[in-house]
Each structure stands twice: as C-alpha cells, then as structure tokens.
Amino acid sequence: MSALRFIGTIPGLGGPVKRRSVILLRLWLLISLVAPSISTPKLAPAFADARSFKSYDEAVHYVRKHYSGESIDTRRSSWITSAEYFPAEGRGYLILGMRGNPYIFAGVPVRVWEGFKAAPSLGKYYNAHIKGRYRLELAH
C-alpha cells in the first residue's frame, strides 16, 4: 500500500489519518472560497487633508478652530448627543458626541453627512454607514 493511499492511524483518534486530512483539506478549501465573499466594512481611503495629531482631544480642538462647520439637532437620538461636520476637499471631519464624549472621524464624504442628517435614526445610520469606516489615525 502506498503512503499516499493510506498514511496510518494516530493513537487515540482512531481511523485513518488520510480521511481526516481530506476532510480538513476540504473544509479549508470551502472556507477560503467563501471567506472573500463575506461582506466586511471597508475603511475609507487615505484622507488627503488629514493632519497628524497626538490625541483625539487635540484633533477635535484643531478642527473646531481651523474649519467652518455645521451642526445639527440630535435630540431625536438617545445616545448621539451632538453632531458637527467640517468639510475639507470633498471629505471632512465628523465630530459626534456620544453620551457626552466627543469622537472624531476623518475623511467622511459629504454624502455620508447628508445621509446622516436626513436619517430617521441617527444611531442606526451611524452603525450602518460610519462606524469602523472613517477612523482618525493618531501620530505615533
């Protein structure tokens, strides 16, 4: 019997190694074919106007000082307490107050801001269109 046709058994596992190897190989192939088709959020491309900041507080202060922006009434949301957008070259900075704490996002397209403003639920829109996509990277 050739080594390719039957490899042997592993004590305690029972059964031929070949059968388990084939099953594992098939499982690996299935996962490798299906995994790329699973939809995952895509991060925004690099934001040309992004600055290097050492902290998020520094970024929020800088953006509010150096850019003209607009804010909206967020009373319809139970956890988004404020929303400000500062356009810059077709994309911009979004500062959201979430339960009172400011969070800043960079490279947010104007169309995302417009969609956010018009959304019946700010929280649902945030989760579907903003969260995990427009991260402001700090300088190291």
- pLDDT by residue for the chain (140 residues), tens digit each? 444 444 455 455 555 556 666 676 676 556 666 655 554 444 444 455 556 889 999 999 999 999 999 999 999 999 999 999 999 887 999 999 998 899 999 999 999 999 999 999 999 999 999 999 999 888 87
Q: What is the pLDDT, as a whole number, of residue 16?
A: 57
**Count of CB atoms situated within 10 Å of the CB of 9:** 14
Q: What is the pLDDT, as a whole number, of residue 88?
A: 87
Whether 118 contacts 99, CB under 8 Å:
no
Q: For residues 34 and 21, what is the distance between their CA atoms, to the nearest angstrom?
A: 20
Residues with Cβ within 8 Å of residue 9, at least 6 apart in sequence: 15, 16, 17
Q: What is the pLDDT, as a whole number, of residue 2?
A: 46
Element (H, E) at 19: helix 17-34
Q: What is the pLDDT, as a whole number, of residue 33?
A: 66
- DSSP-derived letter for residue 99 is T
Q: What is the pLDDT, as a whole number, of residue 118?
A: 96
Structure tokens at 10: 């592993």
